[in-house]
Amino acid sequence: MGNFRESKITFLWMIPITKKERDIAISEGSEKLISKLNILGTEVFSLNRPEVY
């Protein structure tokens, strides 16, 4: 993937995340959030999925 406005485009750009999940990505790194989201499987793409902490 490439860059957008000096920000690296990652997997997280393709899925909806909540503000709390975004805060995890900022404070603990996107890899940490991605590992939590992987548990949801394909449900990760649903707007009605449970929030991860």
Contacts 24+ apart (CB under 8 A), 33-38: 34/10
Boundaries of every domain in the chain = 3-45
Provide the pLDDT confidence category of residue 6 given band limits of 50, 70 and 90: confident
Cβ atoms of 33 and 21 within 8 Å: the answer is yes
pLDDT averaged over every residue in the chain: 88
Determine the average pLDDT of the residues in 6-29.
Answer: 87
pTM of the model: 0.73
Q: Specify the residue for token string 């959030």.
A: 33
In the chain the beta strands, taken as DSSP E runs, fall at 3-4, 7-8
Residue 1 has pLDDT above 80, yes or no: no
Backbone angles phi and psi of 7, in degrees to 5: -120, 135
Rounded-to-integer distance, Cα 28 and Cα 41, Å: 21
